[in-house]
Amino acid sequence: MFSIEISDLSKLSDAVAELLQRIGNQRIIAFYGKMGAGKTTIIKEICRQINVTDIVSSPTFALINEYHCADGKQVFHFDFYRINKLGEAYDLGYEEYFYSNNLCLIEWAEKIESLLPDNTLKIKIEEIENGVRIVTGN
């Protein structure tokens, strides 16, 4: 279990660098937090720091975006906010992505909780007073 505080956006880069150290070799990262908590912002910074060469944006309508890194690796960015039933994740072919050994960054993971592999790293983002974010993981 870990906890990282992000007091303001100027601290985001350092906080995500620490988060990446904590992530280590984990491939499935599930993000939890209310709307506006900063899930997409943190994922964009993760992608910047691991040298994603594509434009990173929220896949809210597409459900998944595929990004490429400078080293040839792939990153899959999911946003399950708009799904209404697990069948939509099955239709997407989530298993191919989750078990591809590529980094999978998942927003609104609570919508597909039962489909997450046992080794998923769960990251919770909470906004507390004055815009401070607390990022915890286990």
State the residue range of the domain holding 116. 2-137
In the block, tokens 């601290």 appear at 11
pLDDT for 59:
82
What phi, psi does 14 have (nearest 5°)?
-65, -40
To the question of pTM greater than 0.75 for the whole model, the response is yes
Domain count, the chain: 1
Question: Residue 132's domain is classified under what CATH number?
Answer: 3.40.50.300
CA distance linking residue 69 with residue 81, whole number of Å: 25
Residue 57: CB atoms within 10 Å: 14
Instruction: Tell whether the model's pLDDT for residue 40 goes beyond 80.
Output: yes
pLDDT for 137:
95
CA distance linking residue 46 with residue 40, whole number of Å: 10
CA distance linking residue 80 with residue 90, whole number of Å: 12
Average pLDDT for residues 86-93, to the nearest whole number? 92
